[in-house]
C-alpha cells in the first residue's frame, strides 16, 4: 500500500512539472547559427531605421537591389537602391509620424523575433515590433512583418530581399523563436496584448484601425 502511494506521488510530480513546462516557447540561440549573419543584417537595419540614417550607401549594405513589398495588392517591387531608400525614408519620416500623431515617433522596439529556414542561403525572419511614441516613450501600437533575407555570394553578406505584412495576431509562434538583443528588446510595462495592432495596408489608406 505504501509503495503504491509512493508511486502515485512520484507520478503526480512528473505530470505537474510537464504541465508547467509544456506551454513555454523554446528559444533558439544564434551563436554559430547558419543564419546569424542574416540577423546581423536585420539588427543593423533596425538600428539604421531608428537613427533615421537611411541613405543609399547604408541601404546598399542591407537590401537587395530588387526588393518586394507584399502589402495589400498588388505586390510592390522596388528595382534600385535609390528607390528603396526613397520609400523607406517616406515610411520613417511620414508614416511613422502619422502612426504616433499627435505625439512624435521615438523608437521601434522588438517584442518577438523568430525565423524559418528555407535554404542555406535564404531565411524568413518574423518580427513583432512596438512603436514608442512621445518623449515618455509610450508604447502606442504594434505591427508584425516577415522579412526574407538571402545570402549574396558576390557581396558575401546577407541582404533583405522581400517584406510581407502580417496581422499581429497571426505572428508565427510555431517558427524558431529567438532571444532579442537587450538594446532592441521591448521591456515596457504595457503587455503586448494590450497594445493596439496596426496593418501596413490599412495605413496606406490613412486608417489606424484594423477592420
Task: List the chain domain ranges.
Answer: 26-203
Please give the model's pTM, rounded to 2 decimal places: 0.85
132/186 Cα distance (integer angstroms): 9
| Residues whose CB falls within 8 Å of the CB of residue 96, separated by 6 or more in sequence, listed in order | 105, 131
3-state percent helix, strand, coil for the chain, nearest multiple of 5: 35, 35, 35
Confidence of residue 13 (pLDDT cuts 50, 70, 90): very low
What residues form DSSP beta bridges with 72? none
* Least trusted range by pLDDT, from 6-20, 27-41, 162-176: 6-20
- The class of domain 26-203 in CATH terms is alpha beta
Position 147 scores a pLDDT of 98
Position 73 scores a pLDDT of 80
Q: Which of 166, 14, 211, 198 is nearest to 96 (CA)?
A: 198
Confidence of residue 178 (pLDDT cuts 50, 70, 90): very high
18/117 Cα distance (integer angstroms): 28
Q: Which span out of 17-21, 65-69, 134-138 was modeled with the highest average pLDDT?
A: 65-69
Amino acid at each position: 500500500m505504501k509503495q503504491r502511494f509512493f508511486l502515485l506521488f512520484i507520478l503526480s510530480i512528473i505530470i505537474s512539472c510537464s504541465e508547467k513546462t509544456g506551454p513555454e516557447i523554446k528559444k533558439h540561440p544564434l551563436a554559430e547559427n547558419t543564419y546569424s549573419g542574416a540577423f546581423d543584417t536585420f539588427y543593423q537595419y533596425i538600428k539604421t531605421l531608428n537613427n533615421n540614417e537611411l541613405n543609399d550607401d547604408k541601404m546598399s549594405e542591407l537590401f537587395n537591389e530588387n526588393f518586394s513589398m507584399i502589402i495589400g495588392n498588388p505586390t510592390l517591387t522596388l528595382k534600385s537602391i535609390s528607390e528603396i531608400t526613397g520609400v523607406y525614408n517616406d515610411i520613417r519620416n511620414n508614416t511613422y509620424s502619422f502612426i504616433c500623431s499627435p505625439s512624435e515617433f521615438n523608437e521601434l522596439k522588438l517584442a518577438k523575433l523568430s525565423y524559418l529556414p528555407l535554404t542555406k542561403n535564404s531565411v524568413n525572419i518574423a518580427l513583432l515590433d512596438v512603436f514608442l511614441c512621445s518623449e515618455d516613450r509610450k508604447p502606442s501600437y504594434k505591427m508584425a512583418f516577415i522579412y526574407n533575407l538571402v545570402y549574396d555570394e558576390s557581396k558575401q553578406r546577407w541582404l533583405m530581399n522581400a517584406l510581407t505584412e502580417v496581422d499581429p495576431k497571426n505572428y508565427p509562434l510555431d517558427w524558431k523563436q529567438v532571444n532579442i538583443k537587450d538594446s532592441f528588446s521591448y521591456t515596457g510595462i504595457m503587455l503586448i496584448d494590450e497594445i493596439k495592432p496596426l496593418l501596413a495596408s490599412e495605413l496606406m489608406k490613412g486608417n489606424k484601425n484594423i477592420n
